[in-house]
Chain A
Amino acid sequence: MSDVTVDIAAEAQQGWQVPADAAHLGGRGSVDDYWKLMKPRVMSLAIFTAAVGMMVAPGSIHPVLGLVAILCIAVGAGAAGALNMWYDADIDAAMQRTAKRPIPRGNLTAGEALGFGAILSFGSVIVMGLAVGWAAAALLAGSIAFYLFIYTMWLKRSTPQNIVIGGAAGAFPPVIGWVAVTGSADWASLALFAIIFMWTPPHFWALALYKTGDYERVSVPMLPVVAGAAETRRQIWLYSLALVPVSLLPWALGAAGAVYAVSATVLGAVFLLDAWRVYTRRENAAADRAARKLFKYSIWYLFLLFAVLLVEQGIWPALARGLGV
């Protein structure tokens, strides 16, 4: 019998005493820690936009397979979040906004987050491929890889354009939902992609404006850190101006109707008003308030825009068919 075996047997008799510094080895995280690792808020937006992509897409999918597709997109988004927290654990610990995440708090080790994210990534893509289709699975794998390798590992710490290009990762879910139904992406699905892509910079830069100190501390080159608040305000205004016409693309391409067009115009007008306030109010508390207001409204904007699309193109036609209207 080797010494190792003897040691293990001796420890087993003592009830497998775990060393006092076992926190470094992991195994102490709660279910809630793992849940937080998946960035549930980001995940909910991915679920919602993916569901809208599925409902708006021409054609149909078996409801069970539709739910499986949504589940895979949700798990894939959560996996990407976990992998992001694994890689960014060092800067998360130094930022006020992220210091309470499971790894900086010491509840989970970075290795546990990596393993969790890798297993969920692999699982979500395989199930999507086997149950729904390999085109949707390939897109899901691409979006996870883009978020991890392109945004998290490369762009985030190297360029102020990080969230402009990296925003593409968050724009994938409606296209994946669409492809799950039709098997391929067409122009209308890319219009949904474009909306989220153009929405991301003003959304994140509004946040970065009042969290500049956080990013400065960890040397992440967010636009306000590198180019200053004035340039960030100008860029927010320009992207907001571009966002409104882009939001009308689904209508222009025939994938949405008049209700959507009117809603997108009204919601876009409010977005522009808030962006203008950010652009013009540059002093102290008023500037801070304007940025916070735009950040909060931008979340509601995207939710409402897609909700209108969902009701107009998905729920209402189904109800009308059911009622024989």
Chain B
Amino acid sequence: MDDDDLARRRKRSIAIALVLGALVVLFYVITIVHMGPGVMNRPL
């Protein structure tokens, strides 16, 4: 595996990390949108 391959692998890894991070944020926002104000309405 030469330097170019390693550089491409590094960029792929960063891209996958960014996509996974974006998905976490997305699912969080979707949950809030679906639950609306009800997200605060839960027994302690």
A interface with B by C-beta (< 8 Å): 18, 22, 27-31, 34, 62, 64-65, 68, 71, 127, 130-131
Contact = CB atoms under 8 A, between A and B. Distances in A.
A27 B9 contact: yes
Task: Give the size range of B's interface with the partner.
Answer: 10 to 19
Interface of B: 1, 5, 8-9, 11-12, 15, 26, 29-30, 33-34
Contacts of A64: 29-30, 33
Nearest to A33: B8
A27 B13 CA distance: 11
B39 to A, nearest CB: 14
A18 B9 CA distance: 13
A62 B33 contact: yes
A68 B11 contact: no
Contacts of A30: 8, 11-12
Contacts of B5: 27-28
Contact of A68 (B1, B8, B26): B26
Contacts of B15: 31, 34
Contacts of A18: 1
Given A18-B1, A22-B1, A29 B30 contact: no
Dominant SS among interface residues on chain A: helix
Given A22-B1, A68-B26, A29 B8 contact: yes
Contacts of B34: 131
A231 B20 CA distance: 50
A30 B14 CA distance: 11
A131 B11 contact: no
